């Protein structure tokens, strides 16, 4: 298997978020959020509705810029970088609304997602290996796809864009069990290739099954950080932190 990194950044974090605050107008959504994801690590970001999970991803991408604190990706400070530059450096985003170009075919959606970063771009063939249905959908326009099919396209677009870090926002929401399985298999495959994964999920069991570490958010703050195994095997702690 080819290594994803063209150079070795030792064991430095791929993503480091330090003490960030973010606002929507005057309303503060994040209060001193810090987290780290290493290459080949899956960090699950869990928590109830409105906790600030999506806002954390938006801050990393520069869509809701951090007003205080610092965000480093791949050894570079991206706190004030524009979103297109951040994406161009190799951060892939699977948003919660499965954004694809509706009037374009699947093939076209994939083709225009290709870009060069210092990380490895996945081939169409590798995407077909993960999502076997995709190969037969290539000439379809995306607006005619089911939610699950659209998610396959959204994730494949990210893979073909050569990511060093993938941000997933509730990727299993509303999907059939088979597609959820394929999505979680993708997360594990990214991990094996040394890609860093930040996985926001409401589906706690699926997230704990693939995550190395977990951060739990509530009311804009990280309220717990630790190994996934601690939550996987400790139902009382899981109930205390997640009510699940």
Ligand X SMILES: Nc1ncnc2c1ncn2[C@@H]1O[C@H](COP(=O)(O)OP(=O)(O)OP(=O)(O)O)[C@@H](O)[C@H]1O
Question: Between 55 and 186, whose beta carbon lies closer to ligand X?
Answer: 55
Nearer to Mg ion, 50 or 82 (CB): 50
Q: Which does 51 bind (CB under 5 to 8 A by kind): ligand X, Mg ion, none?
A: ligand X
Show the tokens assigned to 202. 């409401």
Q: Which residues of 121-137 are buried (b: 16+ CB within 10 A; e: fewer)?
A: bbebeebbebbeebeeb
Nearer of residues 74 and 170 to Mg ion, judged by Cβ: 170
Q: Name residues contacting Mg ion, limited to 48-107 (CB under 5 A).
A: 53-54
Coil vs helix vs strand at 119: coil
- Locate all alpha helices (DSSP H) within the chain, ordered by sequence: 53-60, 83-88, 106-111, 124-130, 147-160, 177-192, 204-210, 228-232, 235-242
* C-beta of 122 vs 168, nearer to Mg ion: 168
How many residues line the site for ligand X (CB under 6 A)?
A: 11
The stretch near ligand X (CB under 6 A) out of 50-58, 72-80, 128-136, 141-149 is: 50-58
- Is residue 82 a contact residue for ligand X (CB under 6 A)? no
HSE-CB for 230 with a 13 A CA cutoff: 12
Compare residues 54 and 156 and give the one whose CB is closer to ligand X.
54
68-73 and 76-77 strand pairing? antiparallel
Contacted entry of ligand X, Mg ion, none for residue 94, CB cut-off 5 to 8 Å set by kind: none
The reply to whether 11 sits near ligand X by the rule CB under 6 A is no
Interaction of residue 29 with ligand X, rule CB under 6 A = yes
The binder of 24, among Mg ion, ligand X, none, by C-beta within 5 to 8 A per type, is ligand X
Of 46-54, 97-105, 171-179, 227-235: span binding ligand X (CB under 6 A)? 46-54
Residue 206 binding Mg ion, by CB under 5 A: no
| Rounded distance between C-alpha atoms, residue 16 and residue 34, angstroms | 8
Task: Choose which of 11, 49, 103, 139 interacts with ligand X (CB under 6 A).
Answer: 49
55 part of the interface to ligand X, by CB under 6 A:
yes
Helix (H) or strand (E) holding 34: strand 27-37
Half-sphere exposure of 28 (CA within 13 A, CB side): 11
Q: Which of 49, 14, 27, 76 is nearest to 169 (CA)?
A: 49
Q: Which of 5, 44, 53, 241 binds ligand X (CB under 6 A)?
A: 53
Q: Considering only residues 4, 20, 38, 54, which one is a binding residue for ligand X as defined by CB under 6 A?
A: 54
- Of 98, 72, 90, 105, the residue nearest 190 (C-alpha): 90
- Binding footprint of Mg ion on the chain (CB under 5 A): 53-54
- Binding footprint of ligand X on the chain (CB under 6 A): 24, 27, 29, 47, 49-55
């Amino acid at each position: 298997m080819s290594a994803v990194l063209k150079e070795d950044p030792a064991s430095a974090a791929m993503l480091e978020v330090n003490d960030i605050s973010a606002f929507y107008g005057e309303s503060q959504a994040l209060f001193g959020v810090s987290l780290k994801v290493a290459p080949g690590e899956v960090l699950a970001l869990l928590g109830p509705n409105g906790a600030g999970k999506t806002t954390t991803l938006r801050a990393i991408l520069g869509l809701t810029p951090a007003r205080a604190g610092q965000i480093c990706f791949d050894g570079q400070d991206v706190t004030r970088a524009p979103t297109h530059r951040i994406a161009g450096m190799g951060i892939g985003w699977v948003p919660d609304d499965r954004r694809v170009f509706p009037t374009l075919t699947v093939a076209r959606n994939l083709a225009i997602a290709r870009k060069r970063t210092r990380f490895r771009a996945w081939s169409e063939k590798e995407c077909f290996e993960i999502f076997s249905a995709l190969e037969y959908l290539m000439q379809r326009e995306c607006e005619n796809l089911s939610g699950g099919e659209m998610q396959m396209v959204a994730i494949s677009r990210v893979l073909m864009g050569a990511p060093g870090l993938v941000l997933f926002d509730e990727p299993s929401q509303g999907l059939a069990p088979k597609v959820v399985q394929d999505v979680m298999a993708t997360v594990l495959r990214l991990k094996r290739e040394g890609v860093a994964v930040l996985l926001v999920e409401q589906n706690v069991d699926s997230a704990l099954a693939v995550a190395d570490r977990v951060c739990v958010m509530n009311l804009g703050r990280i309220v717990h950080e630790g190994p996934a195994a601690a939550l996987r095997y400790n139902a009382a702690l899981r109930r205390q932190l997640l009510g699940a």
